[in-house]
Amino acid sequence: MDISVEQRESRLGWKLIAPSIGVIGLLIIYPILYNVYLSFFDVKLTGANLFVGFANYERLLKDTAYYSSLFTTVLYLFGTVLGTTVVGLFVALLMNLHFPFRNVARTVILLPYFAPVISVVFGWQFIFDPVNGIYNHVVVEMLHLSGTRHNLIGDPKTALLVVILFDIWKHFPISYLLIISKLQSINRDQYEAAAMDGCGPIGRFFHITLPEISFVLGTLVILRLMWNWNKFDEVFLLAPNVETLPIFTYYTAFTGIIDQGMAASISVINFLILSGLIIFYVKKILKW
């Protein structure tokens, strides 16, 4: 049988990616579809699921706990995305200056990003421990800024703040890394030309640096939004009382009065929002 070179190549291509498609299908596409299916049922652990149509969604949209969780998630996203981007930018600008041992500093800064989550979570919990923690020791005993010891992680009012700070600390290195790589590629001539044109250091930042790194900043914001929308491990390990949507979903599905149908409907909504973000990223930022 005669087939063209292009057809042969195309067949080879399909053969080569078939294993990946199989694995992705099994581990990602099937669960997603199954989750969508479950969201229309009153799920019984015995297996006798009862079709309820959109009832799960109706109940969810009337549930104040859901909106409270949504609000927490929005605060969490706002704080972490803004924080990592601003801190990353600031550190990148700093590390782009010339000073002794710059290379050492540049490397050390990356450490939080590479440290295993569980070990640094224990570290942070120890820092804020109400009895033995350094934070209370410094604030209460040494500086006398407060008369009483606080359990910042245990108190739901302040736990969100600690979780946001933790995320900024752990993830600003990736922002820093992306921003500094772009900073280094900006032509020095441009800065010199701007200086000759009467532009001081602040003007040069706004007229040259910022336009040059705007693409990277856009990418960072949208990527961090996507990552943190689904962030479970860090939040749950550090402060399980901060109920962002993934944590709320987990509690609904697996603790207390188990309601997996409703948990599935939360996940479906999350999935749709995330898909929207991804489409926006691909169309508007990557411009594919």
Partner 1 sequence: MASLKLKNIHKRFGSVEVLHDINLEIKEGEFVVLVGPSGCGKSTTLRLIAGLEDITEGEVIINHNVVNLLEPQHRNIAMVFQNYALYPHKNVRENIIFGLKMAKVSRDIMDARLEKVAKMLELQDFLDRKPAQLSGGQRQRVAMGRAIVRDADVFLFDEPLSNLDAKLRHQMRSEIKRIHRAVQTTTLYVTHDQVEAMTMGDRIVVMKEGVIEQQGTPMEIYLKPSNTFVATFIGSPSMNLMDAKLFPEHVEIEGQRIHFKEKIQRPDFLLPKEGLPIKLGIRPDFFLDENFASRGGSLAKINYAKIDLIEPLGFDKELDVQVGTQSLKVRLDLRTTAKEGDTINLCFDMERAHFFDIKTDKNLFIHPPIRPQA
Q: Which residues bind partner 1 (CB under 8 A)?
A: 187, 189-190, 192-200, 203, 207-208, 211-212
Please say which residue, 28 or 193, places its beta carbon nearer to partner 1: 193
In the bound complex, what is the minimum distance in angstroms from residue 198's beta carbon to partner 1? Answer: 4
In the bound complex, what is the minimum distance in angstroms from residue 191's beta carbon to partner 1? Answer: 9
In the bound complex, what is the minimum distance in angstroms from residue 179's beta carbon to partner 1? Answer: 17
Please say which residue, 19 or 200, places its beta carbon nearer to partner 1: 200
In the bound complex, what is the minimum distance in angstroms from residue 196's beta carbon to partner 1? Answer: 5
In the bound complex, what is the minimum distance in angstroms from residue 200's beta carbon to partner 1? Answer: 6
Please say which residue, 197 or 233, places its beta carbon nearer to partner 1: 197
- Residue 89: CB partners within 8 Å, gap ≥ 6? 175, 176, 179, 213, 217
Is the separation of the CB atoms in 284 and 45 below 8 Å?
Answer: no
Please say which residue, 147 or 200, places its beta carbon nearer to partner 1: 200
In the bound complex, what is the minimum distance in angstroms from residue 187's beta carbon to partner 1? Answer: 7
Please say which residue, 59 or 207, places its beta carbon nearer to partner 1: 207
Please say which residue, 183 or 194, places its beta carbon nearer to partner 1: 194
In the bound complex, what is the minimum distance in angstroms from residue 208's beta carbon to partner 1? Answer: 7
Please say which residue, 177 or 186, places its beta carbon nearer to partner 1: 186
Helices 260-280/210-229 angle, 10° precision:
170
What is the 3-class SS of the chain, one letter each residue? CCCCHHHHHHHHHHHHHHHHHHHHHHHHHHHHHHHHHHCCEECCCCCCCEECCCHHHHHHHCCHHHHHHHHHHHHHHHHHHHHHHHHHHHHHHHHCCCCCCHHHHHHHCCHHHHCCHHHHHHHHHHHCCCCCCHHHHHHHHHCCCCCCCCCCCCCHHHHHHHHHHHHHHHHHHHHHHHHHHHHCCCCHHHHHHHHHCCCCHHHHHHHHHHHHHHHHHHHHHHHHHHHHHCCCHHHHHHCCCCCCHHHHHHHHHHCCCCCHHHHHHHHHHHHHHHHHHHHHHHHHHCCC
